[in-house]
Structure formats: structure tokens, C-alpha cells
Amino acid sequence: MSKSNQLTTAIFAALAMLASLTSPAAAATCGSSAGGYEAWKQQFAGEARAKGISASTIQALMATNYAQATINADRGQRSFSLSLEQFLAKRGGPAIVAKGRSLKQSQGALFASIQQRYGVPPGPLLAIWGMETGFGSQRGNQNMLSSIATLSYDCRRSAFFTEHLYAALQLIDRGALSPAQRGSMHGEVGQTQFMPKAILAYGTGNLENSANALNSTANFLKAHGWRAGAGYQPGEPNFAAIQAWNAAGVYQKAIALMGRQIDGGE
């Protein structure tokens, strides 16, 4: 082999080695049981470190536990297969409407300011607030980081929840969330149950505070096409924004119906 060919071969070998060193590592391996969770955490920690997540936040991730209760809840969401009437009865629709009407009156200034800023009337916001947490009374008691890390590891919807896990780690890095943050089964937090990626995009403050949570919810709806003054029932322009909030058809219809009843419709 000529010296020039030897030099060319050496250059290509060096480039190949450099590429192997700088190329991203394979994604952490998902699983369907608790058995592989600790190994997955080790893999994911390396990816998170490469993306700039701090050592202290990675340490919090490493301290998480496999959340079996979250997996059970994720596999058992049967209420979304109910009819609208059954769903409203199960979730306490009449009580939500009654309480929503009362809060619309007692917190009129807050809802007026939200509507002026975002164009969203009180009804759908109160329906969401009531449906999600019983107006703040049931915000969940699961460790948020463990729940989302478990769902990111779980093969069923790993890609979806991995985006939320990175968002949660960023929020912890910024001090906007604590590693000990409690929430619902899928990692939702606050008065209206925001996922971490939505907090990054639409959050307007501490979501444990009802005014911040309601402003953030209206901000979400506006960002998803809400038009001031347009209707929000199925087939009307603003129903699409409600659909963006939750993928379940029966949930969407329930929010639209209760919102109309709270806003004064039949």
C-alpha cells in the first residue's frame, strides 16, 4: 500500500472513531415491568447529562422508584369508554356545575380579567378545574418524578412521556418544581393538572395557586386556537381547543356541556 493510501486509510479510521465518540448513545431501553427500571435509569441519566441536566437533578431522577400504581392506572382508564351521561354521573357533573356557578359569582373579578386577557369565558375553565381536581381538593399524592419516569421507561407510550420527563427535569433545574412534587397518577400537577411540557409552554406561575392555574389553562386554550366570542360546543370553532386539552371524546363533550351550563346555558 502506498504512503498516500495508508494516510487516507488512517484519516478515515480516525474520523470513524471520532464519530463513534460524538454520536448520541442509543436511547435507554424501555420495559414492561419493574425488572429493568434501575438499568434504564442508569442509561437515561447518561442521556440527560449529555443534554445539560444538572448533577443534582439527575441524582433526584436516580432516587425515583418504579410507580406500580401509575402503571395500574394507565392500564385501567375505563371511565373514558362510558357514555356521556354515565361519565357525567360518575364524575359528579351536576355538583361541578353547581359549584362552578357559585365560584363564577364569588370570583367574578378573576374570571373577568382572564376573559379580557385570553378571550376564554368562565364556564369551560371552571368545568376543567372541577373535573380535574374537584376545584383543588384532589390534586393527587403520587411522586411526580417517579410517575413520569416510570411512564417514560414503560414501552407503551415511552416517546410521549420521555418528552414530559425532560421537561420535568428542566423545571426542577430551574427551581420551578421540586423533586418531591406530588401530583396525579400520570404526573399531572396543580389545580388544573398540567403535565410538565405544558408547564414549560403555558404556565404563568405556581400552578398550586388557583389564579395562576386558571390563567395558565386559559393561556393553553388560547394557544390552541381559542377565539374570543366563538362557541365551544362540538362542531363550533373553540371545541378544537378543548380537544387539545384532553384526547378522550367523552371528556371533551363533558367539559363543553358543563361549561355551557355554568355560563348560563341549558
CA gyration radius, the chain: 23
Digit-coded pLDDT (tens) for 147-180: 999 999 999 999 999 999 999 999 999 999 999 9
The alpha carbon of 140 is separated from its chain's Cα centroid by a whole number of angstroms, namely 14
Helix or strand or coil: residue 26? Answer: coil
pLDDT value at 26 more than 80: no
C-alpha cell at 12: 478515515
Q: Which domains does the chain have, with CATH numbers?
A: 80-141+188-262 (1.10.530.10)
Strand partners, 182: 143
Q: Do the Cβ atoms of 244 and 198 come closer than 8 Å?
A: no
Helices 122-133 and 108-118 pack at an angle, to 10 degrees, of 110
C-alpha cell at 115: 376573559
Q: What is the pTM of this model?
A: 0.86
Q: What is the pLDDT of the chain when averaged over all its residues?
A: 91
Beta strands per DSSP E along 119-265: 142-143, 182-183
Non-local (6+) Cβ contacts of 14 within 8 A are: none
Q: How far apart are CA 181 and CA 141, in angstroms?
A: 9
| 118 to 153, 189, 192, 216: CA distances (angstroms) | 37, 22, 17, 10
The alpha carbon of 34 is separated from its chain's Cα centroid by a whole number of angstroms, namely 23
Q: DSSP per residue over 112-152, as a string? A: HHHHHHH---HHHHHHHHHHHHTTTT----EEHHHHHHHHH
**Four-residue CA torsion sign, 43, 46, 48, 50:** negative
**Four-residue CA torsion sign, 13, 19, 21, 26:** negative
Digit-coded pLDDT (tens) for 112-136: 999 999 999 999 999 999 999 999 9
Q: How far apart are CA 40 and CA 10, in angstroms?
A: 36
Across the range 236-250, mean pLDDT stands at 97
Q: How far apart are CA 89 and CA 98, in angstroms?
A: 14
| 253 to 20, 82, 176, 216: CA distances (angstroms) | 51, 12, 33, 21
pLDDT interval class at 265 (50, 70, 90):
low
pLDDT of residue 27: 74
Non-local (6+) Cβ contacts of 130 within 8 A are: 95, 96, 99, 100, 258
pLDDT interval class at 9 (50, 70, 90):
very low
